[in-house]
Amino acid sequence: MGVGDEIFELAARLFPICRSITGDGVRQTLDILSDHVALERHEVPSGTQVFDWTVPQEWNIRSASITGPDGHAVVDFADCNLHVVNYSLPFKGILPLNELKLHIHTLPGQPDVVPYRTSYYAPTWGFCMSCDRASELPDGLYQVEIDSDLKDGNLSYGEYLHRGQTEREFLLSAHICHPSLANDNCSGLALLAILARHIAARETRYSYRFLFAPGTIGAITWLARNEDRTHLIDHGLVLSCVGDAGSPSYKRSRRGDAFIDRAMAHVLGHEAGAKLLDFSPYGYDERQYCSPGFNLPVGMFQRSVHGTFPEYHTSADNLDFISHEHLADSFRILTDVIDVVEGDWTPLNLFPKCEPQLGRRGLYAALGGQKSQEVTSMSLLWVLNLADGKHSLLSIAQRSGLPFRQVAAAAAILSDHGLLGETSSPLMPSSAR
């Protein structure tokens, strides 16, 4: 089974679950993710103050339906969990159509899909239907029932820390609160879990923290509970919408020139149609990590940008909308970025006056060797020329236009032949690079 198949299979297991910012759906999701990565679970009680926010009451739902005047079901939560407004208050009653319609959400511009709506911080009850179906409802009395509860409980999140050679961290975060939406964000959760398993089997310089938390309130809660450790974060990415056919895109951190911004720009510079976006204080949890009191070097990786594709936050964001191929491609891009983070260092040419004689050292012959399949004579020359103690390998890759892996392989060969030294520790805070 290829990595794309694994990620898709996991996303398919997660898809049917009704998740929200709290509740048993989140715990069930964490249970499934724990089959792939050893998550540490956290439960934060309702009412806990987290900066300017308060952990809300816990929401759970068992069933919901609308029964028409003829006794037949018009809507059944069991058919699609998007049919109920997420965080709906419980309700039971008999209503005429004109009153019921005040609590029905549709999407007239896309009349055949069910929209996704929430009422996290403005308590109410409601249903979501396709506009086509809602327009067919006849006058009469409707029996309405939402069997849910909203009461003191806990907010749940999970994290996994892979310890590297140092405590300096790379944070990878995905929101766990959306119900049956395949791209947003079953794809992100599944990819992050499989990536965590991949990193767990690897020796790394950085420590890697994988966070699965509810959107907004989950990230805020994690930051409030870990404020004393955020100074260790040198790089970060938020993942969402990573399984569709759109070209890959990256939203820069608030800093704009953090190492992760440069690394993502370099990797995506070799991807057809890739998009680089400047930071804005709207989106997913990157806006919490990048709030001015933290200003962490955290960007966001997606394929199609949220809110720009018609399937976004509708029932059309189903398993047919994501693919094994694009999940695998997103995985490859992320591992390429991690390779840049792990492999960057600053070389120094030990023979800086004119070019050293490469042929005499057998370097041209070495280009055909297995170790240096990526290496060309131009990559050797670029590294030698820019190895002045001021350019890291990433800087050389950016300047030359060569892929990082090719520059890194050239630097390794030159080092093996005694032509390069190192002017700095390969691991330093991104702000210093």
From the annotation, which residues make up the binding site? Answer: 178, 184, 313
| SS3 at position 45 | strand
Whether cis (ω within 30° of 0) applies to the bond prior to 226 is no
Question: CA 360, CA 353: separation in Å to the nearest integer?
Answer: 17
Provide the angle, in degrees to the nearest 10, between the axes of the packed helices 324-343 and 3-14.
110
Q: What are phi and psi of 277, to 5 degrees?
A: -120, 140
Report the Cα–Cα distance between both ends of the chain, in Å, rounded: 39
53 in Cβ contact with 120 (< 8 Å) = no
Determine contact, residues 32/13, Cβ cutoff 8 Å. yes
- Residue 406 to residue 397: CA distance in whole angstroms: 8
CB-based contacts of 351: which residues, under 8 Å, 6+ apart? Answer: 419
Residues annotated within a binding site for Zn(2+): 178, 184, 313
Instruction: Answer yes or no: are the C-beta atoms of 345 and 393 closer than 8 Å.
Output: yes
DSSP-based three-state secondary structure for 95: strand
Structure-block tokens of residue 425: 């520790």
Cα separation, 404 vs 343, in Å, equals 9
Task: Return all residues near 333 (Cβ < 8 A) that are at least 6 apart.
Answer: 248, 267, 268, 271, 301
**Token pair in block for residue 162:** 């892979």
How many Å apart are CA 184 and CA 318, to the nearest integer? 9
Would you call 234 helix, strand, or coil by DSSP?
A: strand
SS3 content of the chain, % helix, strand, coil (to 5): 35, 25, 45
The identity of residue 370, as a single letter, is Q
